[in-house]
């Protein structure tokens, strides 16, 4: 990740602010002096805050999230587009539509419509429709690609925004704050630095300054993406090793159970902590051996109840014969 020097910032004209009468008092701490009615930005603070911003952008990209580049003013369109494509991230350079973040589900429908029109041209559907309909589809595709071309492959919300000109991109910053998405931005002397999380005080009207700052952010994002790829490969390898260890452990457990099933019970006894009570004297049969001799048990003699055969004596005395 290349460090931007104060000399490079000075050469790009990053120190020129706006007219003193148009300044924002909250930018006082970033202003070095005043010259010919124009505020001069302290480039030492610019360099320091740019390093902080690049470190944060690098961490976000390394975590697998995307950094969305936003620059819709004329001076920022080309630098933002080029640097975003260079690091393989998403960008918005035409205009910011309300709800691009807060209503991303609806925005995705427009992006899917763009993909559908592209598919119609590939699969031969354009050859089956009239010339007028084909012209209408091409115009619709050009309009959609101009607005959504930079976020055509963005399937989820970004992890961070990088904006050029805080005043110009106030809608994007507002939506990002609503969703809790951190924002890096180039802040000129006429802007409020408290609106974003990581301000970079610099001239936001100079194409060279925008290219320099955007290039530093893009380099940090590119390096972070490489780190994310390495982490993904390492996590995949560790996952495969964990699966292999688990399968080996399961195989060992199966082998142990199989060996316990084949063990001679006369030699090893009960493998669950000794013979069970009541089974010590029971003869065991070895595999393939003769059946154990079964001791015959003589039947117990039947117990018969004595039947009283004498006639019961009547308790009533019969009268003697006279």
Q: 275 lies in a domain? A: no
CATH of the domain at 130: 1.10.287.610
| pLDDT tens column, 217-247 | 999 999 999 999 898 888 776 555 555 566 6
Same domain, 150 and 169: no
Burial state string for 139-170 with b = 16 or more CB within 10 A and e = fewer than 16: eebeebeebbbbbeebeebbbbbbbbbbebbe
What DSSP line would sit under 268-316, residue for residue?
Answer: H--TTTSPPTT-SSS----TTSPPPPPPP-PPPPPP-PPP--SPPPPSS
Give the domain range for residue 132. 102-156
Q: 292 lies in a domain? A: no
CATH of the domain at 34: 3.40.50.10490
Same domain, 58 and 199: yes
pTM: 0.71
Round the average pLDDT of the chain to a whole number and report it. 82
Same domain, 10 and 78: yes
Same domain, 35 and 82: yes
Q: 217 lies in a domain? A: yes
Which pLDDT score is estimated for 33? 94
Percent of the chain with pLDDT over 70: 74
Which pLDDT score is estimated for 231? 85
pLDDT tier, 276 (very low <50, low <70, confident <90, very high otherwise):
very low
Which pLDDT score is estimated for 291? 56
Same domain, 87 and 169: yes
Same domain, 179 and 150: no
Q: 271 lies in a domain? A: no
Q: Is the pLDDT of residue 171 over 90?
A: yes
Same domain, 199 and 74: yes
pLDDT tier, 253 (very low <50, low <70, confident <90, very high otherwise):
confident
Same domain, 195 and 70: yes
Q: 265 lies in a domain? A: no
Same domain, 171 and 47: yes
Q: 146 lies in a domain? A: yes
Alpha helices in the chain (DSSP H): 6-12, 43-62, 74-87, 104-122, 131-148, 170-179, 207-262, 265-268
Same domain, 110 and 217: no
Q: Which of residues 257 and 41 earns the better pLDDT score? A: 41
Q: Is the pLDDT of residue 255 over 90?
A: no
Q: 313 lies in a domain? A: no
Same domain, 10 and 148: no
Pick from 235, 230, 100: nearest CA to 161: 100
pLDDT tier, 123 (very low <50, low <70, confident <90, very high otherwise):
confident
Domains contained in the chain, number = 2
- Domain limit, last residue, from 216, 233, 250: 233
Percent of the chain with pLDDT over 90: 55
| pLDDT tens column, 70-119 | 999 999 999 999 999 999 999 999 999 989 999 999 999 989 998 888 88
Same domain, 111 and 203: no
Task: For tokens 């904006």, name the residue.
Answer: 163
What is the chain's Cα-based Rg? Answer: 44
- Domain limit, last residue, from 194, 210, 233: 233
pLDDT tier, 252 (very low <50, low <70, confident <90, very high otherwise):
low
- Domain limit, last residue, from 176, 205, 233: 233
Q: 308 lies in a domain? A: no
């Amino acid at each position: 990740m290349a460090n931007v020097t104060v000399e490079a910032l000075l050469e790009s004209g990053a120190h020129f602010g706006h007219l003193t009468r148009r300044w924002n008092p909250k930018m006082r701490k970033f202003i070095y002096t005043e010259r010919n009615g124009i505020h001069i930005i302290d480039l030492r603070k610019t360099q320091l805050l740019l390093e902080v911003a690049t470190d944060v952008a690098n961490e976000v990209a390394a975590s697998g999230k995307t950094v969305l580049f936003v620059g819709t003013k004329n001076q920022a369109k080309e630098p933002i587009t080029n640097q975003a494509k260079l690091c393989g991230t998403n960008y918005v350079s035409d205009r910011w539509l309300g709800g691009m973040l807060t209503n991303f589900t609806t925005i995705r429908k427009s992006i899917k419509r763009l993909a559908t029109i592209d598919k119609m041209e590939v699969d031969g559907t354009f050859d089956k429709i009239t010339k007028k309909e084909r012209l209408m589809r091409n115009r619709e595709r050009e309009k959609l690609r101009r607005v959504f071309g930079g976020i055509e492959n963005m399937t989820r919300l970004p992890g961070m925004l990088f904006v050029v000109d805080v005043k110009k991109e106030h809608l994007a910053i507002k939506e990002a704050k609503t969703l809790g998405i951190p924002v890096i931005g180039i802040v000129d002397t006429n802007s409020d630095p408290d609106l974003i999380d990581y301000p970079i005080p610099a001239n936001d009207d100079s194409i060279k300054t925008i290219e320099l700052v955007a290039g530093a952010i893009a380099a940090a994002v590119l390096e972070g993406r490489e780190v994310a790829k390495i982490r993904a490969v390492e996590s995949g390898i560790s996952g495969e090793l964990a699966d292999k260890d688990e399968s080996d452990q399961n195989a060992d457990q199966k082998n142990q159970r199989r060996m316990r099933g084949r063990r001679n019970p006369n030699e090893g006894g009960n493998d669950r902590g000794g013979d069970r009570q009541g089974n010590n004297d029971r003869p065991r049969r070895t595999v393939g051996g003769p059946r154990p001799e079964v001791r015959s048990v003589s039947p117990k003699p039947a117990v018969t109840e004595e039947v009283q055969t004498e006639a019961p004596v009547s308790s009533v005395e019969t009268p003697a014969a006279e």
